[in-house]
Chains A and B, each alone.
Chain A
């Protein structure tokens, strides 16, 4: 007997997409729904027994009316197809009256693991036989710090058991990048005799344990440039008790791609720069095998003779427009904050002039906190007035990156570059 299900996590419906571009926000909002709908389509087409959602189905407590309607509609589709939904809330959509998910009148096929105490449900197959057991638990607060996995019951019998949890598994390579909500160890998961662990929380797709197969499917659609590449869900088939096969399906209609181009020191004009960017981006997109709708973020970095132009908003806008056309990409963000004037800083270091003195001061500032505090602006825009001395120092130190280059660029006449 085969137990088939879809495993997804971190849908983050109603994510507030951070962009000043309304069209982009709307497109992303629609795309995330489209991705979710595609996951439901996949579940129906594969005739799965269940859909497992490992937390963070919503991004925040204020689930919009329209999204709620959309969600219910999609779950009703699954209900019509006789597919059960198992949903284990995470840190973004935990238990609590302030969270909308707790007030939703879910369709009858939806099982929500509201409590941190694990609960098990059986899944019935075509011939009215039990094909699997889903055990899950939910976060009870925004910062669930308890190890919920350790409380999961040990599986017995021949029916495959699946653990469903929004958790951070500590000790694997990417875990440091994420908040330690409902943390657990690999050992916790291995000790339960489960066939499969359907996890959520980590937005990058990762198969962290081979046996029992333990997967972070990642979110179903990237939400910012840092969440690049194909995103989607896992289609899992379990033959017998533990013959597990999991296949990734990219369902995101939109991909994020963020690239840094730092070899722009030799461009002579905008044509040169356009060509360089286009060639580089096309190569990167091809290498990353991104052929669908891409939201591209290109960060230009390093010294560039077109420094002045690349800090001119109008020039950057024109270049962005031109690149969109050349790359045939609808959304492109061109970041030029880190483009610097070509400067040979050593030429001025220790010089008998104000600039030489300034470079020396910057070198001292990196070590001399008192001096840093003295020369730092009296009123800092980026630091609250009640900030601690340590915070201020750290903040100010952050400002020192490449400050010497900037000062040289500012003080040295353009003709001397």
Chain B
């Protein structure tokens, strides 16, 4: 690879700078100090590797006052293709390359042709300043070793030294041969030590637990013996304590009963006999007093009883009737008054009846028309009257009309009278025939009638009434007919009155007043009858009551006062007295019965007392003593003894509910001859022994409890198998760790061995090449370079005439050392480039310390190398630049 052109609008101190076309493989960049040589070198490395630093504010080659920098250039690769490269540093670094017109982004990455070579290695090997002509820096040398010798251009491999260091570190963190540090295995060993200690403790604990268990068994057996012994002792003492008090009391009781003798036979004699006898005497006197009192009371009550005599009894027996009478006193009083009032009322009604009947009825009122009066139908009567009134009215009208007609006619009055008389005669004759009878009379009457008829017919047939006469006749006929009808109506009225003897005048022209009057009269009549009826009813009641009172008065022997009310009052008073006497008598009778019973009781008691006195005195006769008092004393003493015995016996029963069983046990013991059961001394000894056993048991129990506690505590501590499990687990882990460590170490050894073999195979070539370059430069003075140790610190040089190699260092001149290191780098470049691009080489004043001969040889060598590599010489020395004047293969770029 070579550079064809480089340019920049602004890069460090370079502004709008361009190299122009570089067509030579030897390029001399000549300029004074600070003219920009280093900037151009930096410009080239930027083109190749990108911006470093990559931040615009930190990169020193961003021109002053600007925030960005640019550079570009054209490179020719090994296949002679042009590669145009652009690099910009703005907010972030950018880059691109164009190959055969195809752009490809670069970012800030190196050109792909340099990817195998890191920038530090490039700067250390390809860019040589005078101060870099020394043994490569340690880091770079290591990289060279790893990359060049170990990986041979393979950048994907981790550096061997790094891998080895990591492996060693890992292995040492697991297990170490020395005692340094704290590898895991060591920590585990420490854990194991502790666990083994614990294990031994646990073993000891197990042993102790078994010992304790054995000890516990012994102690439990001892304890059991003591408990058995204690049980025996308790049994004895309990038996003693149970039997002895009973035994002792039974003895006392028997003795007391013996002394009291057969006192129970005199149990009929009461306690405190003297007092009792005294009390009997007193009671007897009291009873006698009571007897007197009762007799007095008896007399009194008998007197009271006698007051309830025959009359009083009769009155009392009729008390209900008397009470009924007295109860109805007020009503009776009212009835009497009401009777009087009704009398007055009847009189008034009667007067009114007669008075009213006077105007209506013929002959006034009499009782015979009462029923007729009541039977008159008002409606019918009224209808008949109305009918009459109607006919009468029509009659009056007809009469007026006839009267008018008659006036008109005037003169025919006599005819009419004749006619009238003839007719009347006819009528009388007919009536006589009808009413009188008798042959003679009939002849006369017939004659009269014939005469009347003949006259009338004559008048009529003679035409007297012709014209007005006819009309008049007609009207008269009507009038007569109306009159007839009027009369019939009156008859109907009469009929409706059921022949009530109404005054005639009233019937001649009947009107509504008849109805009113008949009605009034009937109403009065009814009221009268009602009053009479009521009076009769009350009077009957009064009579009945009077009769009853009179009967009672008579029965009760009371004087009749002729005043019924007074009689009733007397009856009431008599009944009151009778009831009072009856109550007193009844009370007296009850009291009397009680008194009689009381008298009987007292008599009986007095009798009993006397018997009791006799009985006691007779019983006391069998006790020692001259007097009654002395005998009583003897009795009481014996009784006291018996009571004491009985009391003790009760106490025993109360205190010992199972007394029967105890007594039986005592008797059995006695019959078995176990007298020791009731031995106080022996019992005391047994108690003392029990206390001793108790103490022993307590001590043993405490010891057992403590051992059990200890056992429990020990059981809760860690188990053997648990510790053993943990130990084995750690041992397993240790084994794993050991194997892992050994494996890592084996891996490390394999890697180291691989590196050694690879280095042996490859490193000599680098040194041989370097030796050849050095031989060229030194003109055969030094011919060989080799490494004393693998890490490269011991670079040795040997010449053809030298007996032994020299270590590159102070014994050699500075120029010689620089020549050795240049040779080494050129050899490294051969190796680094052997499989890819031949990169340009940059020499910055690298030859200024060289003497003339070696300088010439060196330049010759570089010219030779420029066959493959483009070589840049940076110099500020004019003499140096002049060395290339006239060299057709060299191109000089002069910086101003």
A351 touches B (CB below 8 Å): yes
Interface residues of A in 58-100 (CB under 8 A from B): 59-60, 62, 64-66
CA distance A400 to B735 in the complex (A): 16
A395 to chain B, nearest CB (A): 8
Which of A18, A360, A406, A412 is in CB contact (< 8 Å) with B747? Answer: A406
In the complex, which residues of chain B have a beta carbon less than 8 angstroms from the beta carbon of A403? 743, 746-747, 750
Q: Which of A337, A351, A353, A362 has the most CB of B within 10 A?
A: A353
With known contacts A352-B152, A382-B735, A65–B209 Cβ distance under 8 A: yes
CA distance A218 to B450 in the complex (A): 181
CA distance A358 to B743 in the complex (A): 14
Which of B154, B160, B743, B753 is in CB contact (< 8 Å) with A399? Answer: B743
B533 to chain A, nearest CB (A): 117
A25 to chain B, nearest CB (A): 5
In the complex, which residues of chain B have a beta carbon less than 8 angstroms from the beta carbon of A187? none
B746 to chain A, nearest CB (A): 5
B337 touches A (CB below 8 Å): no
Q: Which of A29, A382, A398 has the most CB of B within 10 A?
A: A382
A359 to chain B, nearest CB (A): 8
In the complex, which residues of chain B have a beta carbon less than 8 angstroms from the beta carbon of A22? 722, 726
Is B158 in contact with A382, judged by CB distance below 8 angstroms? no
CA distance A29 to B747 in the complex (A): 41
Is B735 in contact with A354, judged by CB distance below 8 angstroms? no
Contact with B along A362-388 (1 / 0, CB 8 A): 100100000000011111111100000
A28 to chain B, nearest CB (A): 8
CA distance A36 to B174 in the complex (A): 41
A122 touches B (CB below 8 Å): no
CA distance A24 to B210 in the complex (A): 27
Is B733 in contact with A66, judged by CB distance below 8 angstroms? no
Which of A18, A65, A396 is in CB contact (< 8 Å) with B746? Answer: A396
B205 to chain A, nearest CB (A): 8
What range describes how many residues of A lie at the interface?
35 or more
Contact with A along B117-159 (1 / 0, CB 8 A): 0000000000000000000000000000000001110101110
Q: Which of A9-17, A152-160, A176-184, A239-247 contacts B (4 or more CB under 8 A)?
A: A9-17
B729 touches A (CB below 8 Å): yes
In the complex, which residues of chain A have a beta carbon less than 8 angstroms from the beta carbon of B750? 358, 361-362, 365, 375, 403, 407
A392 to chain B, nearest CB (A): 10
With known contacts A29-B722, A410-B158, A411-B163, A377–B742 Cβ distance under 8 A: yes
Q: Which of B158, B175, B735 has the most CB of A within 10 A?
A: B158
CA distance A136 to B210 in the complex (A): 29
Q: Output the nearest chain A residue to B174 by Cβ-Cβ distance.
A: A381
CA distance A354 to B725 in the complex (A): 45
Is B160 in contact with A354, judged by CB distance below 8 angstroms? yes
A408 to chain B, nearest CB (A): 10
Contact with A along B711-751 (1 / 0, CB 8 A): 00011000111111111111011011111011101110111
A129 touches B (CB below 8 Å): no
CA distance A94 to B578 in the complex (A): 131
In the complex, which residues of chain B have a beta carbon less than 8 angstroms from the beta carbon of A411? 157-158, 160, 163, 751
Q: Which of B23-31, B388-396, B543-551, B754-762 contacts A (4 or more CB under 8 A)?
A: B754-762
Is A381 in contact with B742, judged by CB distance below 8 angstroms? yes
Which of A16, A65, A357, A382 is in CB contact (< 8 Å) with B206? Answer: A65
Which of B727, B732, B743, B754 is in CB contact (< 8 Å) with A361? Answer: B754
Is A358 in contact with B721, judged by CB distance below 8 angstroms? no
Is A375 in contact with B746, judged by CB distance below 8 angstroms? yes
In the complex, which residues of chain B have a beta carbon less than 8 angstroms from the beta carbon of A357? 754-755, 757-758
B167 touches A (CB below 8 Å): yes
In the complex, which residues of chain B have a beta carbon less than 8 angstroms from the beta carbon of A352? 152
Is A20 in contact with B746, judged by CB distance below 8 angstroms? no
Q: Output the nearest chain A residue to B729 by Cβ-Cβ distance.
A: A18
A325 touches B (CB below 8 Å): no
Q: Output the nearest chain A residue to B205 by Cβ-Cβ distance.
A: A65
Which of A62, A365, A383 is in CB contact (< 8 Å) with B720? Answer: A62
B887 touches A (CB below 8 Å): no
Instruction: List 4 additional A-B contacts (Cβ < 8 Å) besides A18-B728, A29-B722.
Output: A17-B722, A66-B719, A377-B741, A410-B167
Which of B157, B732, B742 is in CB contact (< 8 Å) with A380? Answer: B742
Q: Output the nearest chain A residue to B150 by Cβ-Cβ distance.
A: A354
CA distance A415 to B155 in the complex (A): 11
B177 touches A (CB below 8 Å): yes
Is B742 in contact with A399, judged by CB distance below 8 angstroms? yes
Is A65 in contact with B743, judged by CB distance below 8 angstroms? no
A355 touches B (CB below 8 Å): yes
Q: Output the nearest chain B residue to A19 by Cβ-Cβ distance.
A: B729
A415 to chain B, nearest CB (A): 8
With known contacts A377-B746, A382-B742, A16–B722 Cβ distance under 8 A: yes
Contact with A along B682-714 (1 / 0, CB 8 A): 000000000000000000000000000000001
Is A16 in contact with B725, judged by CB distance below 8 angstroms? yes
Q: List 10 A-B contacts (CB under 8 A).
A: A65-B213, A66-B715, A355-B157, A357-B757, A358-B751, A375-B753, A399-B739, A400-B746, A412-B156, A413-B158
CA distance A127 to B746 in the complex (A): 73
In the complex, which residues of chain B have a beta carbon less than 8 angstroms from the beta carbon of A381? 174-175, 185, 737-739, 741-742
Q: Output the nearest chain B residue to A416 by Cβ-Cβ distance.
A: B156
In the complex, which residues of chain A have a beta carbon less than 8 angstroms from the beta carbon of B733? 20
Is A65 in contact with B749, judged by CB distance below 8 angstroms? no
B203 touches A (CB below 8 Å): yes
Is A16 in contact with B728, judged by CB distance below 8 angstroms? yes
B162 to chain A, nearest CB (A): 9
In the complex, which residues of chain B have a beta carbon less than 8 angstroms from the beta carbon of A399? 739, 742-743, 746
CA distance A52 to B215 in the complex (A): 33
Is A14 in contact with B721, judged by CB distance below 8 angstroms? yes
In the complex, which residues of chain A have a beta carbon less than 8 angstroms from the beta carbon of B861? none
Interface residues of B in 151-184 (CB under 8 A from A): 151-152, 154, 156-158, 160, 163, 166-167, 174-175, 177
Q: Output the nearest chain A residue to B745 by Cβ-Cβ distance.
A: A377
CA distance A365 to B749 in the complex (A): 12
Is A353 in contact with B206, judged by CB distance below 8 angstroms? no
Is A59 in contact with B721, judged by CB distance below 8 angstroms? yes
Is A412 in contact with B749, judged by CB distance below 8 angstroms? no
Is A361 in contact with B753, judged by CB distance below 8 angstroms? yes
Q: Shortest 5 CB-CB distances between A and B: which pairs?
A: A16-B724, A16-B725, A381-B738, A358-B754, A382-B738
A128 to chain B, nearest CB (A): 34
Contact with A along B591-629 (1 / 0, CB 8 A): 000000000000000000000000000000000000000
CA distance A399 to B757 in the complex (A): 22
CA distance A17 to B720 in the complex (A): 11
CA distance A113 to B180 in the complex (A): 55
CA distance A353 to B729 in the complex (A): 42
A54 to chain B, nearest CB (A): 21
Is A379 in contact with B177, judged by CB distance below 8 angstroms? yes
Which of A64, A354, A398, A400 is in CB contact (< 8 Å) with B157? Answer: A354
Is B177 in contact with A412, judged by CB distance below 8 angstroms? no
Contact with A along B194-222 (1 / 0, CB 8 A): 00000000010010011001000000000
Q: Output the nearest chain A residue to B727 by Cβ-Cβ distance.
A: A16
Which of B154, B174, B751 is in CB contact (< 8 Å) with A351? Answer: B154
CA distance A59 to B728 in the complex (A): 14
CA distance A357 to B152 in the complex (A): 12
Q: Output the nearest chain A residue to B191 by Cβ-Cβ distance.
A: A20
With known contacts A18-B729, A353-B758, A64–B743 Cβ distance under 8 A: no
In the complex, which residues of chain A have a beta carbon less than 8 angstroms from the beta carbon of B758? 353-354, 357
B772 to chain A, nearest CB (A): 23
Q: Which of B727, B746, B755 has the most CB of A within 10 A?
A: B746
In the complex, which residues of chain B have a beta carbon less than 8 angstroms from the beta carbon of A16? 720-728
In the complex, which residues of chain A have a beta carbon less than 8 angstroms from the beta carbon of B730? 20
Is B150 in contact with A353, judged by CB distance below 8 angstroms? yes
In the complex, which residues of chain B have a beta carbon less than 8 angstroms from the beta carbon of A360? 754
With known contacts A15-B721, A20-B726, A25-B726, A376–B746 Cβ distance under 8 A: yes
CA distance A406 to B154 in the complex (A): 19
B168 to chain A, nearest CB (A): 11
CA distance A381 to B185 in the complex (A): 10
